Chains A and B, each alone.
Chain A
Amino acid sequence: MTATNYEWFIENNLDRYAGKWVAIDNNKILESNLKLDVLLNKVKEKYPKSRPFITRVRNKLLRLHS
């Protein structure tokens, strides 16, 4: 069975996209950008039929709530 976009994201090294949002479809990065709204617009414009998996390659330590 083919890996889902989620599985592809988990298993692959995306260090080169550190700090960016990425849109993944068919086991490849369609687009990446530091700003999510820019990424969403680019995907909509360039890949109108795609329904990608979107996530952030966060490279800062997170302390979500105090």
Chain B
Amino acid sequence: MALSYRFKKFRLEDGTYTKRPIVDIILKNSDKYLEFGAILDSGSDLTTIPKSVADYLDLKVKNEEIEMVGYKGTGKVKQGKVTIIFKGKVQRQEEALHNVTVAIMQDSEEEDVIIGTTGIFEHFKIIFNDTKNISLTRLSH
């Protein structure tokens, strides 16, 4: 069964509106977890999370810093692994992906949870339909 999510309308500073594809996910590390509304971004290589989330989840983080090009220019990130659960309307519809590599933004001003392609898109058939929804169907391997 496909998971179905929606576009959310956001009012921008200049009074115009934009719609963004928001998915309902849980980021989990052992017994710690947080539920987020995250942007599903087919143009982002990695899933990115703020440092405060990595700290909250007690993620094991690699020491090495790498550069990542983001919307504020190039920023430093560290990498960690997390379980991402895509929530459904009911619990039995959930789809979990384990050991997904995430980029942890080191700049405290860069606070967004963005679901990128690596470790995610190869597991789903994803359809973006701006007027209706975003559907994710788990692929069997």
A residues bordering B, Cβ < 8 Å?
Answer: 1, 4-6, 9-10, 15, 18, 21, 35-37, 40, 51-66
Smallest CB separation, A22 vs chain B (Å): 9
Check if A66 sits within 8 Å of B22, measured CB to CB. no
Tell me, in angstroms, the Cα distance from A37 to B111 when the chains sit together: 10
* CB of B1 within 8 Å of the partner chain: no
Check if A60 sits within 8 Å of B13, measured CB to CB. yes
Which partner residue on chain A sits nearest B109 by CB separation?
A35
Check if B10 sits within 8 Å of A9, measured CB to CB. no
Beyond A35-B111, A54-B35, is A64–B43 a contact (Cβ under 8 Å)? yes
Beyond A62-B20, A66-B69, is A53–B50 a contact (Cβ under 8 Å)? no
